[in-house]
Each structure stands twice: as structure tokens, then as C-alpha cells.
Amino acid sequence: MSMKSFPFNVWCYVSFTAGSFSQLNGKNLSHSSYVHMNHTPLNTRIVGGVDASEGSWPWQISLHSSNFGGHFCGGSLINNEWVLTAAHCLPGRTQQGVNANEISRNVTSIIVHNSYDRNTNNNDIALLQLSSAVTFNNYIRPVCLAAQNSVFPSGTSSWITGWGDVQSGVSLPSPGILQETMVPVVANDQCNTLLGSGSVTSNMMCAGLMEGGKDTCQGDSGGPMVSKQCSVWVQSGITSWGYGCADPNAPGVYTSVSQYQIWITNNIGQNLPGFVTFSPTSTCQSVSTTSPTSTTSPTTTKTTTTPKTSTTLRPATTTLSPNQGNSFSYSTVHTCTNILKWLVHPKMKIVITYSPFMSFQT
């Protein structure tokens, strides 16, 4: 996979100011780390969700725009210097301005999958690298990633989170608290029947209720979908696209993280995130990290069927739940599978911004 080159400056801010922190549009953004980037608003939030309590989802990231109303996409912290998000969140974004009250760090690179297809939404995955590492504590932690042999059968309980719209065209009201809800996995063959044959590739997965009512929406794009195996939270999906928000017989579609273990490993190189094999038959005796079994890139599935014209990606305008998660220990190889309770501190934030004139080089 080729790395995309962007001639811009990027800053990562970590703030410890008193009180709840606010987005630049004046709305409070509580209970999570967030990434800050300037971008035309695309608007997306969780539909049918509830406020996430403190102690939830310490890996949740917000991509943020100061020029166009604040939050526009989500992401997940996967180790101390990398963020995982959706490819469609990144092209054409610009950033101006710096918050003088926050500590700045440059982002050295943005890696968009070179087979990302904006027409079919296939390979909708990207990585952001920070130039200096985030310091983990009890409030900021990474999530484990689904390893390449993971299995998420139909019905698997999955948590989705974000600051996106609470229904189509309706923004999350102030104070803008992170939303969470649980949806079951829907098998790809059933999802293709519902959304159009061939529109859901093997690099995607679906989740949602057949009766509707719970879903990601505009502004949640790039955020994580996670499931709990024993005591470990594992990211199965990246919010990608869908038809409407929480409509009946229209599950949300997510990039399948397990398809990209090799791609992530090849691009990060060292200090790899923790990968966990998720399986419904796990005995919970132990959970271990895995290494990819091949150095080749994951298969890119092409489709000749055009998705419905009403397809909408899930970026936003202004986007689990127990308080246990996965801790990281750093050595030659680190793991995210140690059990640790933590709080997501409402006074702490991670913000990434990037500045003008991004250009892609192949």
C-alpha cells in the first residue's frame, strides 16, 4: 500500500482545563478523547442512543472542524500514536488556526487505503499518525482490533458511539454528550439482499435492527463499532455508510477491521496495536494478541453492482458501555488485553487539526 503525502501541518492538542471542554462551535463534548480537524460539515450522530456515562469508551476520537460547525467524523485510538478512521472522512479537508490554550503536536502522515473506492465505499479505511506519542493514563486508552480470523456471526451484540445526528437532519442537542447504543450484527448475505446485491463486499459488515430505530448517522463516520469478548473490548467495524439513518430493513454498513490486519501492520510497522481473535466459541480462559500470517495485502473485493443512489456516507455537522476496557503495556510487543477499569475524564481531550491545501500523491 502506498502512503499518501499531504503538505500540511497538523497539531494534536491535549487539554487539562477546568470544567467540561467545548467544541469550537460552543457545544460541550464530554466523556471522551477527540481529534480535531477542519472540514466542511458532513453531520452524523447516533440514532436511538443514550448519553454515555463517564468511564465509557476511552478510545473514542472526534475529528473536528473549527470553520464549519465543529465535529464531522469519529475515529478510534489504537495505540499511543495512531488513530483509525474512515477514508471518506479525509480527502479535501483544510485547517486554519490554533488554540493557544492547548499543547500542540504535529501529525506526520495520513494513510488512506490506496484501493479505496468512493463509488462503492470499498476499503473505507485510513490511519492518522501523531508525531509524538499520547501518554496513556486512566482516562485515555486504546482499543483492541479484530484479528484477521475473527468471526462476528449474525446477532453479535455490537456497541456504536458518536456525536453524530440523532436522526436524519437533526443534530445532537447541547451539551453534546457522546451517544451510545447497541445493535446486532446482520449477516452480509442478508444485508446484500436488503441493500442491493453486491453493495456489501467481504471488506464490509452490517449491523442494525430490522425494525429500525437504532443506527449510526451523519457525523458518526470513522468511529468504532466494538464487541466485548470475555473482559476485552474488540473493534469489529468502522462506521462507513448506509441508507438513511435507523430506517427499517436498512442496517448500517461498517468497514470490517479484521480484513485489514495486514494492511494496518504493514503501514504502522513498529509499536503495533493489539489484535485479538474474536470468536463466539471463546472459552474466556485467556485472550491473546495475534500476528498476521501473511505479509501480503488483504484481498480487495470489487463489485459490479452500483449501490442505491440514496446511499449516504456517515460524516457529521457539528457524532460502550461498561467501564472496563483494554490496557496497553509497551515493550517490544505490547498488548491491549489486560483488564483495567478507567474513567474517560471530561476535562481531557485529544484534538488533531490539519491545515490548508492537502494534496494526494500516488
Contact between residue 220 and residue 74 where contact means Cβ atoms under 8 Å apart: yes
In this predicted structure, the answer to whether residue 249 has a pLDDT above a threshold of 90 is: yes
Q: Which strand (E) or helix (H) includes residue 10? A: strand 10-15
What are 198-227's pLDDT values in tens digits? 999 999 999 999 999 999 898 899 999 999
Q: Which of 136, 344, 50, 93 is nearest to 222 (CA)?
A: 93
Catalytic residue among 30, 32, 150, 221: 221
In percent, the amount of the chain with pLDDT more than 70 equals 58
**Structural fold of domain 10-354:** Thrombin, subunit H (2.40.10)
Catalytic residue among 64, 71, 88, 345: 88
DSSP 315: B
Whether cis (ω within 30° of 0) applies to the bond prior to 175 is yes
Q: How confident is the model at residue 152 (pLDDT cuts 50, 70, 90)?
A: very high
* Annotated catalytic residue 109: no
**Mean pLDDT throughout 23-37?**
33
Contact between residue 123 and residue 301 where contact means Cβ atoms under 8 Å apart: no
What are 253-302's pLDDT values in tens digits? 999 999 999 999 999 988 899 999 999 887 775 555 666 655 444 443 33
pLDDT at 47: 83
pTM for the model stands at 0.73
Catalytic residue among 36, 39, 64, 124: 124
What are 34-47's pLDDT values in tens digits? 343 333 333 334 78
DSSP string computed for 100-145: TTSB--BEEEEEE-TT-BTTTTBT--EEEEESSPPPP-SS----EE
pLDDT, mean over the chain = 69
What are 289-334's pLDDT values in tens digits? 666 655 444 443 333 333 343 456 665 433 223 322 333 332 223 4
Given the C-alpha cell 471463546, which residue does it identify? 282
What is the β-pairing status of strands 275-276 and 252-256?
Answer: unpaired
* Annotated catalytic residue 51: no
> Helix, strand, coil: what percent of the chain each, to 5?
5, 35, 60
* Annotated catalytic residue 221: yes
